[in-house]
A and B are shown apart, each in its own frame.
Chain A
Amino acid sequence: MLREHGCATAVLPTGLEAAWAGAVAGVATLTAEADVTLDAELDAVDAVVTAAALGIATTGTIVLDHGPDQGRRALTLVPDVHVCVVRAGQVVHDVPEAVARLRPEPGNARPLTWVSGPSATSDIELERVEGVHGPRTLVVVLVDEEV
């Protein structure tokens, strides 16, 4: 995927599964989350590879809770390509199920980002344009694996 989108550099969250990180290392120069402290540095990175908190089947949504395998929010926002790996066991049926699972823990709330496709706008004559500010390419890899 990264090769297909011409990504030479990629940033990885600290807690990403080692096997996935290894696979990415084969095609792109890696940067660790901790090494990009400035948003401007992040802007120079081509891609980001993360896991997800869960997926929602009916709406085609992935939800990031920005845990260690997903990184802080800027990581999945600034680079232009986001590859997100979701395990089949993480996929719930609908929105109420997702909301029930994501309830913030008191005192230890995480920020949540719900992503249902690449950034898009229909602001000019209602013609849909994909890719405005977020990653213009979103690739979701669904892995046949329980959590």
Chain B
Amino acid sequence: MTTTTPGPVQETSPVFVGMPKFPTAAREALANTQQRRNLKHATHTIRDKRARVVAEVPEWEALRVAGAEAKDEALAHLGDYLEQLEASLTANGATVHWARDAAEANAIVLGIVQAKGVDEVVKVKSMVTQEIELNEALEAAGVNAWETDLAELIVQLGHDRPSHILVPAIHRNRSEVRDIFRREMAAVGRPAPDDLTDDPARLAEAARLHLREKFLRAKVAVSGANFAVADTGTLVVVESEGNGRMCLTLPDTLVSVVGIEKVLPTWDDLAPMLQLLPRSSTGERMNPYTTMWSGAHDGDGPQDVHVVLLDNGRSHVLADRVGRQALRCIRCSACLNVCPVYERTGGHAYGSVYPGPIGAVLNPMLRGTASDVDKSLPYASSLCGACFDACPVRIDIPELLVELRGRVVEQEGRTAESAAMAAAAWVLSDPKRLSAAQRAATTAGRLLGDRTIRTVPGLGAWSNARDVPTPPTETFRQWWSRERGRGPDERPRRDPGPRPRGDRRRDDHPRRPRADHRRRGALARPRRDPRPLRRERRRLPGRGSARRPAGRRR
């Protein structure tokens, strides 16, 4: 269960190297009240919209199962489906490239761009090109990569980092956006109008004008893909603004960087996916624009079509029997919007382009758990389970978080905590040791008197918000023997409840009449109802019941 998996992990990109661990970064984010207000508004609004449109679909659970099964099928035979995808794309006139890691992928894209002799590309919002830091790689080679999604444009012009998968500039408010546009647009193209206000409609209009000249001029576009259909060789981009359509249609050359987990076995798998994704992501029945292209289409759109299939740590995750379900992720961001931790800290504290609950599992699996931030991410959760309920492809994020915590603990080896636990086990496994320890504690209790223990050296964070209970001046056994007049070993027979292992000695002569007499005395006192409270095992709704609908293929 806790074996480390083979396969290369993803290198942490330069932007995030040396990120502090999550609690440190989160503390900084928590102090930013403006950001917290923005985040709360955003997450709650999208959360409510999502809940409404999901409630409209009575077969939602069956759709989730179908979505998860399509992805699982693709992942179980990933090599085969990738080869099929390559064959159908090639048959459709596209050129397929394979990239092991970020450096290879960036080199391939740069090679294509340089072969075209251009110094700029327009980009569709894409998580995977952020993951490999393609923009930085292109810029280093003198190629400008223009982000065309409004939020990504705000982030890029503001020399900033995205903080949410779906709405990356959610940490900025309208007047900040206006200031960024006024200050930065002129240096990179059409300037913002002089009379620009902070009205979102005016800001969007400024972006339209600024970007239109770039769309009409650009010779090369770079995109990602939401889905890659193996049997038809079709790529799918789901979007709202139309910047995607512009990039995917107008330039002569299109390069799409696609993570290998994006593959879907068949065309029909789009049916559940196109219902799950928009409702989960933006809370819409359907997003405004979806573009599907199958290679190059004669006389319509880019004629030189490239697809870069990227691993970058994904086969490492695939080799992990528990963790591979994270590769089902369709980047909808529903888990972010329902997460009580994300809602307060925002995306930057996660030290990756993948924030929120899915980031807390994906990053440590893609990158390994060597760095401070990756080690701390599995703990960036209260394990409330809301992310699992919201996930359209049923990724059991809480299970993965617990699994990863286990791995981090094992990797850390001997710590003060594990030493303390070992010592406690040694004491608790023997009644004599326990009894000695309890007597020692009563001594401490008598010395302390009424005083409260407020801090414990070495347990600073834990005891910040907690007082340690003062040890009693007398143990229960001492009290019993004082009140009932027998040795500390004495215990009435037929006492309900389990017996400590070390007490078996008295069972050798269980029918001693004196004990019976004693017991009646004990029963003379009023007793509480001895029936133990039955505790229902609580389960999360829908959890652990991945029943497949009858007749589902495969």
**Residues on A close to B: CB < 8 A?**
39-40, 43, 56, 58-61, 66, 72-74, 77-78, 95-96, 99-100, 103-104, 106-107, 109-127, 129, 131-135
Contact = CB atoms under 8 A, between A and B. Distances in A.
B203 A124 contact: yes
Contact of A43 (B177, B212, B243, B294): B212
B46 interface: yes
Contacts of A106: 91, 232
B204 A121 contact: yes
Contacts of B46: 126
Interface stretch (B78-86, B285-293, B406-414): B285-293
B282 A99 contact: no
B271 A96 contact: yes
Contact of A73 (B150, B174, B290, B301): B301
Contacts of B289: 113-116, 119, 134
Interface residues of B, number: 65
Contacts of A39: 215-216, 250
A126 B168 CA distance: 11
Interface stretch (B37-45, B309-317, B348-356): B37-45
B221 interface: no
B489 interface: no
Contacts of B200: 124-125, 127, 129
Given A104-B294, A115-B289, A73 B271 contact: no
Contacts of A99: 267-268, 270-271, 274
Interface string B218-243: 00000000000000111000001111
Contacts of A56: 286
Given A77-B249, A126-B46, A107 B288 contact: no
Interface in B406-439: none
A103 B150 contact: no
Nearest to A80: B208
Given A78-B250, A113-B289, 18 more contacts: A66-B297, A74-B250, A77-B250, A99-B270, A109-B232, A111-B291, A111-B300, A116-B285, A116-B287, A116-B289, A119-B289, A120-B288, A123-B149, A124-B177, A126-B45, A133-B208, A133-B215, A133-B246
A73 B246 CA distance: 9
A123 B169 contact: yes
A134 B151 contact: no
B170 interface: yes
A134 to B, nearest CB: 3
Given A39-B216, A109-B232, A132 B285 contact: no
B106 interface: no
If over half of A's interface residues share one DSSP class (helix, strand or loop), that class is named, otherwise mixed; here it is: loop
Interface of B: 38, 41-42, 45-46, 91-92, 148-151, 154, 167-170, 172-174, 177, 200-201, 203-204, 207-208, 211-212, 215-216, 232-234, 240-243, 245-246, 249-250, 267-268, 270-272, 274-275, 282, 284-295, 297, 299-301
Contacts of A126: 41-42, 45-46, 167, 170
B287 A95 contact: no
A105 B149 CA distance: 32
6 A-B pairs with least C-beta separation: A134-B242, A133-B242, A109-B294, A59-B286, A123-B151, A114-B290
Contact of A100 (B154, B212, B268): B268
Nearest to B291: A113
B290 A119 contact: no
Contacts of A112: 290-293
Contacts of B242: 77, 119, 132-135
B241 A60 contact: no
A58 B285 contact: yes
Contact of A66 (B241, B284, B300): B300
